[in-house]
Homo-oligomer: A and B are copies of this chain.
Amino acid sequence: MTSETPATETFAEFCAAWLPRVEAELERLLPPADEAPAELHAAMRHAMFPGGKRLRPMLALLGAQAVAGDPVRALRAAAGLECLHTYSLVHDDLPAMDDDDLRRGRPTCHVVYGEATALLAGDALLTLAFEAAADGGGQAVAVLARAAGSRGMVGGQVEDLAAEGADEAAAGRHTLERLQWIHDHKTGALIAASLLVGAHAATADGESVPAELLGLLRDYGDRLGRAFQIADDCLDLTGSAAELGKNPLADVAAAKLTWPALVGLEASLATARDLAREAGEIAARLGAGVATWRGEPQARLDASVRLLQDCSTFTVERRR
């Protein structure tokens, strides 16, 4: 770790400390709104700014720190993860998909700029994500692409659309197994990849992180992704429009396949908390492994472990 890394105790503090630098990196990465074609660049910026919590970049920086790498070196790749997430929202909102008119409390991209420009703005954001990820080397790009493609996020979106509606529920195709598959692909894959992209980017010029440690980081990310998505499902029932930045009960209205719809709100939250605890245990093993690999005293990694553990708890509790 470097002296440039702000010392933080909790994941919320970590996010607060890094948010200005992530925003500045995104500001640099996206072309100015007056650069030709101005309509396209304005549409990209409409979707990107002002942003939300920038969770995926934060996870990338956390992943860098988890392998005792320098998060500063992962900043550009981290910004790329937000581009990728934002593209998925822009395309999800299109009339041919979810046809949403509200996102983060503002009119969606196609409502303001029209369908063709919104479609192309999404394409450009996805492409920009990989330009940024390339800064973290070929491994970071490969991890990101696998998580985002037809065997990851896009595959999850297809299955999510297919599972929507009362007919699917009536036909007995709303099973926990199917839901888990959708969650793992649609959301979990990119959450786990964010951590790994950060780990690769922070060590791109130096030694590669041992496969065993990358495996632990992925296991942690898998649990985190599941917990995140279950908590997200629950929030649709319990959150206000202001908290959500979109209309509440949208999932219920669309007869979506969700955790609360299958097992109820309390059981869903209990599962999310179990996953968060598992993630915390994996984080402890990861910290010990990294200390051994780096030849550093375990105590040097304690702060990173605590951050990973707090992140998993935060993911569940913040979203109630």
Which residues of A pack against B, CB within 8 Å?
Answer: 31, 36-37, 39-41, 44, 87, 91, 94, 96-97, 115-117, 119-124, 126-128, 130-131, 133-139, 141-142, 144-146, 148-151, 154-155, 157-159, 161-162, 204
> Do the beta carbons of B37 and A123 come within 8 Å of each other?
no
In the complex, the chain B residue whose C-beta lies closest to that of A142 is B134
Min CB gap A34→B, angstroms: 13
**In the complex, what distance in Å separates the CA atom of A137 from the CA atom of B37?**
29
B96 touches A157 (CB 8 A): no
Least CB separation from A143: chain B residue: B134
Question: Within 8 Å CB of A155, what residues of B?
Answer: 36-37, 40, 124
Name the distance in Å between A235's Cβ and chain B's nearest Cβ.
Answer: 25
Q: Given the known inter-chain contacts A130-B130, A138-B141, please indicate yes or no for A120 contacting B37, CB distance below 8 A.
A: no
Of the residues B115, B145, B146, contact of A96 by C-beta under 8 Å:
B115
A158 and B128 within 8 A (CB): no
Identify whether the interface residues of A are mostly helix, strand, loop, or mixed. Answer: helix
What are 17 A-B pairs at a CB distance below 8 A?
A39-B158, A44-B150, A87-B123, A91-B120, A96-B96, A96-B115, A97-B119, A121-B150, A124-B149, A124-B150, A127-B145, A128-B150, A130-B145, A131-B146, A131-B149, A134-B141, A137-B137
Give the distance in Å from the alpha carbon of A126 to the alpha carbon of B124 in the complex: 10
Alpha-carbon separation in the docked complex, A149 to B154 (Å): 19
**How far does the alpha carbon of A161 sit from the alpha carbon of B144 in the complex, in Å?**
31
**Given A124-B155, A135-B138; 12 other pairs, CB 8 A cutoff:** A36-B155, A37-B155, A37-B158, A41-B150, A96-B119, A97-B119, A119-B119, A121-B150, A126-B126, A127-B148, A130-B144, A133-B141
Q: How far is the CA of A158 from the CA of B124 in the complex (A)?
A: 11
* Min C-beta distance of A171 to chain B, whole Å: 17
Task: Report the Cα distance A154→B126, complex, angstroms.
Answer: 11
Most buried by B among A36, A40, A134: A134
Which residue on B lies nearest to A152, using beta carbons?
A: B127
Q: A123-B154, A141-B133 are in contact. Are A37 and B159 (CB under 8 A)?
A: yes
B130–A141 contact, CB under 8 A?
Answer: yes
Query: How many angstroms between the C-alpha atoms of A235 and B52 in the bound complex?
Result: 48
Determine which of B40, B96, B120, B138 lies in contact with A134 in the assembled complex, contact meaning CB atoms within 8 Å. Answer: B138
Query: Known: A131-B142, A131-B146, A134-B141. Is A151-B96 also a contact (CB below 8 A)?
Result: no
Tell me whether A116 and B134 are in contact in the complex, defined as CB-CB below 8 angstroms, given that A36-B159, A127-B154, A155-B36 are known contacts. no
B residues near A127, Cβ cutoff 8 Å: 126, 145, 148-150, 154
> Roughly how many angstroms separate A138 CA and B130 CA in the complex, as a whole number?
10
